[in-house]
Amino acid sequence: MSKTKKVIGLILISLILITGTSSLVFAEKPLPADAALDQILHYPLLGEAGTYVDFMKTIYQCLFGVARITQEALFQYNKDLEVVPMGTESWEISNDGLSWIFHLRKELKWSDGKPVTAHNYVFALQRAAEQGYDFSWYWKSAAGIKNWEKVEKGELPIEELGIKALDDYTLEITTNVYKPYLLGVLTLLYPVPQHAVTEYGDEYATKAETMVGNGPFKIAEWIKGSHITCLPNPNYQGIWKPYLQEVILKYGTINAETGFPAYLNDEIYKSNLNSGQLPYVRQNIPQELHFWPAFRINYLSFDTTKPPFDDVRVRQAFSYVLNREELCSTVLKDVAIPEYSVLITGFPGHDPIEAKELSEYNIELARKLLAEAGYPEGKGFPELELWIKKNEQNTIIHIPAATYFQAQFKEKLGINIIPRIIERKTYTDAQNQHTHNFFFEGYGYDYLDPSNFMDLFLSGGRHAWSNPEYDRLVREADTTQDWDKRIANYRKAEKILIQEAPIVAVFQRIDNSVWKPYLKGEGVEPNKNGIVIWDTNLYQYIFTHIYIAKH
Amino acid sequence: MWRYFKKSKLGIIGLVVISVLICAAIFAPLITPVGYEELRYLNKINSLPSRDNWFGVDSVGRDYFTRVVYGTRVSLFVGFTAALIALIVGVTLGALAGYFKGIVDWVIMRLVEIFSVIPALLVAIFFVTLFGSGIQNIIFIIGLVSWRNICRLVRGEIITLKEREYFIAAKAIGAKPLRILFRHLLPNAIAPIIVGLVVCSSRAIMLEAMLSFLGIGVNPPTPSWGQMISDGLYYIQFYWHLPLFPSIFLALTVLSLSLVGDGIRDAMDPRLRGRS
C-alpha cells in the first residue's frame, strides 16, 4: 500500500512540477492578478473546410481560424479598428504618392527561427500573381499594385510587379494611382516563408509538421475532424504577445446549432447564435451576450444587360417594394439592421439620411414603375431564380430573408421568384461570367474605407453593370487625400448607384456571440465607440489581448 | 379479398390513417385558417403551439399547421403519381423481360442491376442537377428511379405463370404474345403489382422528403415535409415544434403505407390465409 501511495505521490508531484514549469516557460507576458492557472482557450474552428493555413495561397480555401493567429500581416487592425504597424517600424511615401517604402522590423522571426525579410513579402505577391489567386481583384483594384494585371496575364515578367525588396529589411510597394488608404489594404498582406515553400511546396501550410508562420501562435497538433492545438510561438518577437498558453480550436462547433450546445456544456468558451437561440440567451444568460455590426452588406444584384433587368424601372420597383424595417424587426429580428446603400451603418462614409430617402418603402411607386416597364401587376414577368451562395453560416439568415422576399414580390408585385441555394463554385462562376441574372449577395469588409464597397461596382467587375459617371466619381474619390472631398464624391456616386439600382441594398448583418464571463482583458473590453467587436479581422488582436480569469 | 384484409389489424390501422391523411390533403383549404405562403404572423415568429396556431408558427411567420397539412397534399401527390409512373415503366419492362427472355431479358435485367447498384437518392440528385427541381420534374425523376423493384417482381411472376397449363393452352390455339401477356398473364400477376405499388409509393414519399431536405426537391414556398424538417433543424434546440410535426406526419404516412402494403400481401397470399 505504502509503495503505491509513494508512486502516486511522486506522479502528482512531477505533474505539478511539469505544469508549473510549462507555464513558466510559455508565459510571455506577466499575467494579471485574477488570471487562472491554466490559460487554455477552447474555441470553435472557423473555416474548417479550408485546406491551407496560408492567406496568400488562397482566401476561399483558407483555414481562417488558424491562419489569423499563426500568420501576421504587415499591418493589423486593433479593437478601435485602427491600423497598427506589425511588420514595419516606419514608412515614407514618394512625392507623387505612388511609391511607399516600408522599413521592416529586424527582430521578427518565423516560427522555425529564420528572420522575416522583405523578400518574404515580395514572394507572397509574386507567387499569388503567378499562380493565379482567388482574391486577385483585391491586389489589382483595392491595392492597385502596379502591373498586377499584366504580370497575372503573363505579359510582363514577374520582376515588374509593383513590389520590391530594396534590401533585406526595406520593402517598396508601387501602386498605379495614389491610394490614400493603402495601409488598411495591407492588413491582408502576409509574408510567405519562401524557404518552406521551396522545401515542401505550397503544401507546407497543410500540415502541423511543416507549417511555418510568423504569428503569435504556432500549430502544435492538427487532428483533422477533431481539433487543432496552437501554442505560443516561442520565436515570436512582434508587438502582440499572447497571455494564453494554449488555444484549442475545435472542429464542428462554428455553427450556432452545434456550437451553442457545446458552449452551454463548457466545451467551447465562445459561440455564435442563431435567431432561435437569442430569446433563450436574453432570458437566461444576458450578461454573456454581445452584439456588433458585422460590416457585411447583403443585397440583391441584377444583370442589367439582359431583360427583364435591363429596364431601370424594374430594378427600382424591386427596391421600393421592400419594407426593410419590417424584415429586420420580424424575420431577421436581432440579426440584421436595415440598409439602403452600400456604405452601411457605422462604416466610414455612411450617410444616415439621403440614401434612405432615395429608396424608402413605397409600394404604390413600385407598382407604378413596374407597370410602366410593361409588367402591370407582374403580368408577363418571367419566373426568376434567386441564387444564394451556399455558406453554412449565412444560410440561416439568407433562407428566411429570401422567403420574405418571395412572399413580398408575389403579394405586392405579382412576381414569382424561386430562392435556390447554389454551390460556391457554380455560383461564383455564374457571377463572374454573368450567366445568371439574379443574386442575393453578401459582402463583408476587407479594410475600413468606403472604397472597399464602392470599388465593387466599378465597370468590369463581378456585377453586370457599368456607368462611366460612377466610375469617374469613385476613381477620383479613391485617389483624393482630402477626406471631405472624397466623401462628397462617394456620396454622388452612391446616389447614382441607388438611382440606377444595379443592386438593391437590403440589410447589414449584426453579429452576435456569447462568451464566458471569465474571458477578460483588453480584447473584450469595449472600444472607443463602446462596443466589443470579435470578428475574424480582429482575431490576432483579440487572441493576444485576452486571458482566462479565475472561475 | 377485403374479407382477408380486414383480419389484419395493423393493415386496418394503416388504412384508417392513410384515409384521414388523404382527406386532409383533399380538403386542405377548408381545414386550414390561412394560405400556406402568407406571412400572417410576423409578430409571433417561432411561437410554440397555441390555440390560434395549433402547430405553432414557423421562422418567417407562417401558420405551421397550414403548412404541414398542405405538405400532406404535396407528399401524397408526389408519392402516388411517382409510384404510378414507376408502375407503368416497371410492369412494361418486367413483362417484356419475363415473356420474351433471351436478349430482351438480358438487357432489361442489366438495366435493373445498374439501377440497383447506384443508390436511388444519388441517381435522383444527378437527374435534378440535369433537369432542375420543381414538382413535375421531381415526380418524373422519382418515378424513373423507383421502377426496378416492380420490374423484378413482375418478371419473376410472369416466368412462373408461363409454366401454367392455361398459358400453354393459349399459346397452342395461336394467341398473339401481347394478347397472352395482357389477357392471361398480367391479370394473374395483379397481387404482387398492387403490393409493389403501395410499397413504391411509400418509398417515393421518403425520396421526395430526402430531396427536399437537401434543398433540391419541391420549390419553396410550396410546403414539403422534407424541407420543413431541414429548415426546422436550425431551431431544434428551443423550438422543437418546427422539426417535430412534419417528422411525425412523414413517419405516419410511410408507416401506414407499409402496413397497408403488408396487409394486402398477407390477404392475397393463399399460403398465409389459413394461419390467421
Give the three cell numbers for residue B220: 419553396
> Rounded CA gap, B93 and B152, in Å?
9
> Rounded CA gap, A22 and A13, in Å?
14
B contact set with A (CB within 8 A):
37-39, 42-43, 45-46, 59-61, 133, 215, 219-221, 231, 233-239
Helices B135-145, B64-100: axis angle to 10 degrees equals 40
In the prediction, which pLDDT does A114 show? 93
Chain B residues whose beta carbon lies within 8 Å of the beta carbon of residue A421: 215
Please answer yes or no on whether A326 and B234 come within 8 Å at the CB atom.
no
Preceding amide of A308 cis, omega within 30: yes
CA atoms within 13 A on the CB side of A109: 11
Looking at the predicted structure, is the pLDDT value of residue B231 above 50?
yes
Reported as a single tens digit per residue, the pLDDT across B90-149 is 999 998 998 888 899 999 999 999 988 888 888 888 888 888 888 899 999 999 888 988
Please answer yes or no on whether B239 and A276 come within 8 Å at the CB atom.
yes
Instruction: Tell me which fold the domain A3-250+516-548 belongs to.
Output: D-Maltodextrin-Binding Protein; domain 2 (3.40.190)
Please answer yes or no on whether A277 and B45 come within 8 Å at the CB atom.
no
Please answer yes or no on whether B234 and A403 come within 8 Å at the CB atom.
no
> Rounded CA gap, A322 and A170, in Å?
52
Domain A294-510 has CATH 3.10.105.10: yes
H or E stretch at A524? none
Give the model's confidence band at A3: pLDDT under 50 very low, under 70 low, under 90 confident, else very high: low
How is residue B87 annotated by DSSP? H
Q: Does A260 touch chain B (CB under 8 A)?
A: yes
Q: Which of A177-186, A189-198, B161-170, B202-211 has the lowest mean pLDDT?
A: B161-170
Please answer yes or no on whether A257 and B236 come within 8 Å at the CB atom.
yes
Q: Does A414 touch chain B (CB under 8 A)?
A: no
Of chain A, the percentage scoring pLDDT greater than 70 comes to 95
- Domain map of chain A by residue range? 3-250+516-548, 294-510
Interface test with B, best of A263, A265, A331, A395 (most B CBs within 10 A): A331
Give the three cell numbers for residue A378: 407582374
- DSSP conformation letters of A272-329: E--TTTHHHHHHH-GGGEEEEEEEEEEEEEE-TTSTTTTSHHHHHHHHHT--HHHHHH
Reported as a single tens digit per residue, the pLDDT across A209-247 is 999 999 999 999 999 999 999 999 999 999 999 999 999
Reported as a single tens digit per residue, the pLDDT across A356-399 is 888 888 999 999 999 999 898 888 899 999 999 887 667 778 88
Looking at the predicted structure, is the pLDDT value of residue A15 above 50?
no
H or E stretch at A345? none
Nearest by CB to B231, from A333, A399, A406: name it: A399
Spell out the long-range contacts of A526-531 with Cβ–Cβ below 8 A and sequence spacing 24 or more: A527/A79, A527/A80, A527/A81, A528/A80, A529/A80, A531/A291, A531/A292, A531/A293
Across the range A91-98, mean pLDDT stands at: 92
Residue ranges in chain B assigned as alpha helix (H): 2-5, 9-26, 28-31, 64-100, 102-117, 120-131, 135-145, 148-161, 165-172, 177-179, 190-213, 225-233, 241-268, 270-273
How is residue A145 annotated by DSSP? B
Q: Does A258 touch chain B (CB under 8 A)?
A: no
Nearest by CB to B220, from A275, A330, A403: name it: A403
Chain A residues whose beta carbon lies within 8 Å of the beta carbon of residue B42: 326, 330-331
Across the range A18-26, mean pLDDT stands at: 43
> Rounded CA gap, A112 and A236, in Å?
10
Please answer yes or no on whether A260 and B219 come within 8 Å at the CB atom.
no
In the prediction, which pLDDT does A26 show? 45
Distance from the Cα of A276 to chain B's closest Cα (Å) equals 5
In the prediction, which pLDDT does A137 show? 85
Across the range B217-222, mean pLDDT stands at: 85
Chain A residues whose beta carbon lies within 8 Å of the beta carbon of residue B236: 257
Distance from the Cα of A319 to chain B's closest Cα (Å) equals 20
Reported as a single tens digit per residue, the pLDDT across A316-353 is 999 999 999 999 998 888 889 999 999 998 888 888 78
How is residue A423 annotated by DSSP? -
Give the three cell numbers for residue A390: 451556399
Reported as a single tens digit per residue, the pLDDT across A111-145 is 999 999 999 999 999 999 988 888 888 998 889 99
> Rounded CA gap, B79 and B203, in Å?
8
In the prediction, which pLDDT does A378 show? 86
Distance from the Cα of A330 to chain B's closest Cα (Å) equals 6
pTM confidence score: 0.80
